[in-house]
Structure 1
Amino acid sequence: MSIQVCAPALVIRNGCCNDVHHMLPLMRQLRYPTTPSVLKERLSMVEGHPFLSSLVAELDGVVVGTMFLKQYQTHDMKKPVTRVTALIVDEKYRGIGIGKRLVLEAEAWGRERGSSDLVLSTARDSNFTAKTFYEHMGFISSGYRMSKSLIQG
């Protein structure tokens, strides 16, 4: 007698405009205020762009995570870098390796395009779970992120 075990199938693929309604709840978990039309516009901008990428993690056909990437190079860089501009795994699916697979895919994407580093900023200083995850993935914390609003209000 043999026992069959069906493991869930995790697929990492490029995101597309048809993913809007699946990605919207994830973006809200990230506390990213957006609407379906704005997210669809952003996804259409990313599709086919050589320096931007949207990745989606599907577990048995259900979108459970997403990541956005941007490659750039400034005047003082010898090589471009790839920035993770957003990474979110659905709260119900955290801790089972989905975020790790997304980061590994981001590393491969950046390497294919000649990036020297994968960089990111965490959303809040108090987000210790994210910081711990990124450190576990080999990221090193350096410097401070500073910003200044250019909108007069």
Structure 2
Amino acid sequence: MIREAMLEDAGELAKLVNLLGYPTTIKEMSARFAKIKMKTDYQTYVYEESGQLNGMIGMIHSFRYEKNESYVRVVAAIVEEEHQGRGIGKELFQRAEQWGKARGAASIILNSGNRPERQTTHHIYEKWGYRKKSTGFYKPIS
């Protein structure tokens, strides 16, 4: 079942974020997710089954400078490997799209790493109607 994530889910969210390749402790996720939950332009949905979180999607609703429309950016999405292929990811993305539509967003966007292991996921995104459109850049400012 898909539901909105709660503060009590921080431990399971830390596990999922670790699977995404971002080392995170439960303590870090608890503090981070408490800040996220305070923001109404953020949303996190989880897929729960038998008391376990098997997937999640986290997003932000934002406004553009270059157009008169808003968009939703998916910033984190994962389904545990042993639960992939069951449509959980598609359901989570559909929920993200519904959330965006309810806020008047015109589109949903996401970034995904260029690592070879992400290629299968890229094909899935394309199958769901997402198009490759841009190149991302990153620079630390510390």
Shared fold per TM-score greater than 0.5: yes
* Cα shift at 1:49: 2.5
- Aligned match for 2:5, one of 7, 12, 15: 15
Which residue of 2 is the match for residue 24 of structure 1?
14
Larger helix percent: 2
Task: Tell me which structure has the larger Cα radius of gyration.
Answer: 1
Task: Describe the superposition over 1:11-46 as per-residue Cα deviations: whole angstroms up to 9, x where unpaired.
Answer: 111111111122222111100121212211222222
Whole-angstrom CA distance in 1 between matches of 2:134 and 2:44: 27
Rounded to whole Å, the distance in 1 between the matches of 2:54 and 2:80 is: 5
- Matching residue of 1:91: 81
Match of 2:36 in 1: 46
| Aligned-residue offset at 1:78 | 0.8
- Deviating above 6 A after TM superposition, structure 1's stretches of 4 or more consecutive aligned residues are none
Q: Percent identity?
A: 27
2:23 maps to 1:33: yes
Gap regions ≥5 residues in structure 1: 1-10
TM-score w.r.t. length of structure 1:
0.86
1:105-120 superposed matches below 5 A: 105-120=95-110
Where does residue 8 of structure 1 map in the other structure? none
- Distance apart, 1:133 and its partner CA: 1.2
Report deviation, 1:125. 4.1
Asked whether 1:128 is paired with 2:136, we answer no
Secondary structure of the residue aligned to 2:12 is helix
Q: Give the gaps of 5 or more residues in structure 2.
A: none
RMSD: 1.4
